[in-house]
Amino acid sequence: MLSFAVLLDMLLPDPQISWHPIALIGRWIAFLEKNVRKILGNTYISGFLLVILTIGGSLSVTALLIRLSKSWSPANLVLTTVLLYFLLCGATLRRSGTRVLEALQRQDLPVARERLQEIVGRDTSQLQEPEIIKAVLETLSENSIDGLVSPLLFMFVGSFLGHTVLAGLLYKCINTLDSMVGYKDEKYRFIGFASAKLDDIANYLPARIGGVLINLCGGFSGLDMVSGFRMMFRDAHNHLSPNAGWAEASVAGLLGVRLGGDAIYFGKTVKKASLGDEKRQVAREDILRINRLIVMLEGFFLLVSILLCGGK
């Protein structure tokens, strides 16, 4: 089931549907946040409660659905495979990069900015082509961890415990909580604290494992693996996030470009360190290169799932 789900994710981007599991988790988080705030306000306690209720509710409902489907094996097989597929986003990441690239190839900067805005949290309204390409490379490299490496590693661990789907869903709950409330501004400083810290913990090992795998995949695809590893160990710790820098610095080294730097978020300039050495300017073809990296990365996990999990 896991092997087939990974293969599906390599081939098919996520459908844009309202009952997508991650969308449902997002609505559950929004409902809980609104009501927890009413009762406990913007406090650390409300943040811990938000985490517990989000994870507890999501896992309980999913476990019940899986249990009910076990009475008919075909239904259980389909439900499990579909849920695993929805927890991954390899093809979706590549589609996001390709959509921006297509607009750039048409010399349509306004559309490229709009499409980039769909996948980043920064202000894209004034970005020029090199900055747009850099932003695509940064977000795809970072999300290759959140969207592939971390959930797959959780799934592998869960498969040996007999709870592949629930392990993957646990990670996606943590990651979605962080993406929705894990900000440092006044609105989320306290209620989002637990979500942000839990996400840092959940991604700590996957980010470092993912950085190594990205460099190995880059080496197999003809990129500068030595530079990738060197930039990873040199610059990863410079990133504001304890985890995001491992993938971004690796990609910067593999491509021989410089990523990072200051960016505007919610109207405020955020100081960010640069990652990598600028051996050349970024180019449109770099988006194709990182898309190939994502395919190779997910292909590696497909092979591992077949060898270690027997497709379970």
267 pLDDT tier (thresholds 50, 70, 90): low
The lowest-confidence range among 50-59, 115-124, 145-154 is: 115-124
Residue 13 structure tokens: 């981007």
The token duo for 247 is 């993938």
Of the pLDDT bands very low, low, confident and very high (cuts 50, 70, 90), residue 311 is very low
86-143-129-250 Cα dihedral, nearest 10 degrees: -140
In this predicted model, what pLDDT tens digit does every residue of 76-130 receive, in sequence order?
Answer: 999 999 999 999 999 999 999 999 999 999 999 999 999 999 999 888 988 999 9
Number of domains in the chain: 1
Half-sphere exposure at residue 179, Cβ-oriented, CA atoms within 13 angstroms:
18
CA dist 154 → 65, 149, 171, 274 (Å)? 20, 9, 7, 30
Strand-pair partners of 231: none
Q: Which domain holds residue 117?
A: 2-309
Q: Is 0.85 surpassed by the pTM of this model?
A: yes
Distances (CA, A) of 279 to 54, 136, 192, 255, 259: 45, 19, 39, 9, 12
Residue 153 dihedral angles phi and psi, to the nearest 5°: -65, -40
